[in-house]
């Protein structure tokens, strides 16, 4: 493996080592917090607080992981042409800064604004030609099988959790919306594990790519290698 191949592994490694274990903890604490609140279960009083704090860390970690993946993919396929590099770098830094601001602001309007700005930045970076997507048409099955679009949708749900957290804690209707959104997020996390594993099988090592680009993927045929 070359240096580029190791960089491409940063995203899946962080997902396995950080995101999914943290997801399991947050789901468990969320279930306990609900049992304590609804069914008066005898559980520690700090259960809800721990769920809240770790949930916010999980949401932020997911967004950061997506930004890392986009940075690695785009930078690894950039040419010497610098006409797009500076705008893309500024867009990435602006998105990361917006995420930091989302942690700091208090008013609902600012939280909504920075949440939308962060998600818009992720979408803008993901729209670059260097980022592979199976389809951009939601009416096609390939769209829902795309690891990229699944990640973008999860990212949006996590940003909703971050931006609306005070309302979720305060109002029952928002807690129900939070529960529904996170059931969908759990399904998407499961599908991301499947599609991510599939994509790892399909991504060749960097030194293999020149030969594989000659293959006819529709016919599943590759040219015979020339003898040495």
Q: What are phi and psi of 39, to 5 degrees?
A: -105, 10
**Tell me, what's the pLDDT at 150?**
93
Q: Share the mean pLDDT of the chain.
A: 88
Q: At what angle do helices 147-163 and 108-126 cross, to 10 degrees?
A: 170
Residue carrying structure tokens 């700005």: 117
**Tell me, what's the pLDDT at 93?**
96
Taking alpha carbons only, the member of 73, 82, 83 closest to residue 129 is 73
**Tell me, what's the pLDDT at 226?**
67
Query: Widest CA span of the chain, in angstroms?
Result: 74
**Tell me, what's the pLDDT at 96?**
96
Which residues are CB-contacts of 171 (< 8 A; sequence separation ≥ 6)?
Answer: none
Contact at 8 Å (CB) between 51 and 30?
yes
Top pLDDT among 183 and 43 is at 183
Summarize pLDDT for 80-139 with one digit per residue, the tens: 556 788 889 999 999 999 999 999 999 999 999 999 999 999 999 999 988 988 889 988
Top pLDDT among 75 and 62 is at 62
Give percent above pLDDT 90 in the chain.
Answer: 54
**Tell me, what's the pLDDT at 30?**
87
Summarize pLDDT for 212-222 with one digit per residue, the tens: 777 877 777 87
DSSP-derived 3-state class of residue 181: helix
State the first-to-last Cα distance of the chain, in angstroms, to the nearest integer: 22
CA–CA dist 217, 33 (Å, integer): 50
CA–CA dist 151, 180 (Å, integer): 18
Summarize pLDDT for 154-195 with one digit per residue, the tens: 999 999 999 999 999 899 899 999 999 999 999 999 999 999
**Tell me, what's the pLDDT at 125?**
94
Residue 22, pLDDT > 90, answer: yes
Query: For residue 201, what pLDDT band results from cuts at 50, 70 and 90?
Result: confident
**Tell me, what's the pLDDT at 224?**
75
Query: For residue 19, what pLDDT band results from cuts at 50, 70 and 90?
Result: very high
Residue carrying structure tokens 């602001």: 105
Top pLDDT among 40 and 117 is at 117
């Amino acid at each position: 493996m070359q240096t580029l191949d190791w960089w491409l592994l940063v995203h899946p490694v962080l997902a396995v080592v950080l995101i999914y274990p943290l997801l399991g903890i947050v789901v468990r604490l969320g279930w306990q917090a609900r049992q304590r609140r609804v069914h008066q279960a005898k559980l520690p009083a700090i259960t809800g607080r721990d769920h809240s704090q770790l949930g916010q860390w999980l949401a932020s970690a997911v967004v950061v992981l997506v930004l890392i993946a986009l940075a690695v993919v785009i930078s690894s396929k950039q040419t010497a042409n610098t006409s797009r590099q500076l705008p893309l770098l500024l867009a990435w830094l602006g998105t990361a800064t917006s995420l930091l601001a989302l942690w700091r602001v208090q008013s609902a309007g600012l939280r909504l604004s920075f949440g939308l700005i962060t998600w818009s930045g992720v979408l803008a970076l993901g729209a670059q030609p260097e980022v592979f997507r199976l389809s951009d048409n939601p009416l096609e099955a390939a769209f829902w099988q795309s690891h990229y679009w699944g990640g973008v949708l999860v990212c949006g749900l996590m940003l909703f959790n971050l931006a609306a957290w005070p309302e979720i804690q305060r109002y029952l209707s928002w807690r129900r919306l939070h529960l529904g959104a996170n059931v969908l997020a759990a399904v998407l996390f499961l599908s991301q594990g499947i599609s991510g594993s599939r994509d790892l099988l399909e991504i060749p090592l960097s030194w293999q790519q020149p030969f594989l680009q000659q293959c006819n993927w529709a016919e599943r045929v590759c040219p015979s290698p020339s003898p040495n």
